[in-house]
Amino acid sequence: MGSLAFQFTARVAREDFYLTSGELRAYVKIAKSGNLRTISFCGRCATIIHTGNTDDTGLLSLRLGAYEQKHELAPQFQIGCQSSMDWVEVEGGISAR
């Protein structure tokens, strides 16, 4: 599976996330850091919905590609910019982490 050029996520508390319909499926992968991550996806179309810790602690990272309201959220920071190409431009004023 290839990498995406850009991925937009929002970090939310687990207790603030709920499904209004459908059913999630999940699998566990090893992140580049070596940590285990659970990836939850739509059981019907396989769209990734969120990622999180395998022990059900910490924040969820919602993948915003499938969300209608994603354009209402203002970017706060960029992650993983160290490997970006020189020709990639991202909105100014957003700090890199």
pLDDT of 33-80, one tens digit each?
898 999 999 999 998 999 999 999 999 999 887 677 777 877 777 776
| Structural domains in the chain (count) | 1
Compute the distance between CA of residue 3 and CA of residue 29 in angstroms, rounded to an integer. Answer: 14
Q: How many CA atoms lie within 13 A of 51 on its CB side?
A: 14
Percent of the chain, pLDDT > 90?
A: 36
Length of the chain: 97
Q: Does 43 map to a domain?
A: yes
Domain hosting 55: range is 9-96
Q: Does 4 map to a domain?
A: no
Residues 6+ apart with CB under 8 A from 49: 24, 40, 41, 42, 62, 63, 66
Q: In what helix (H) or strand (E) does residue 62 lie, and over which residues does it extend?
A: strand 60-63
Q: Does 88 map to a domain?
A: yes
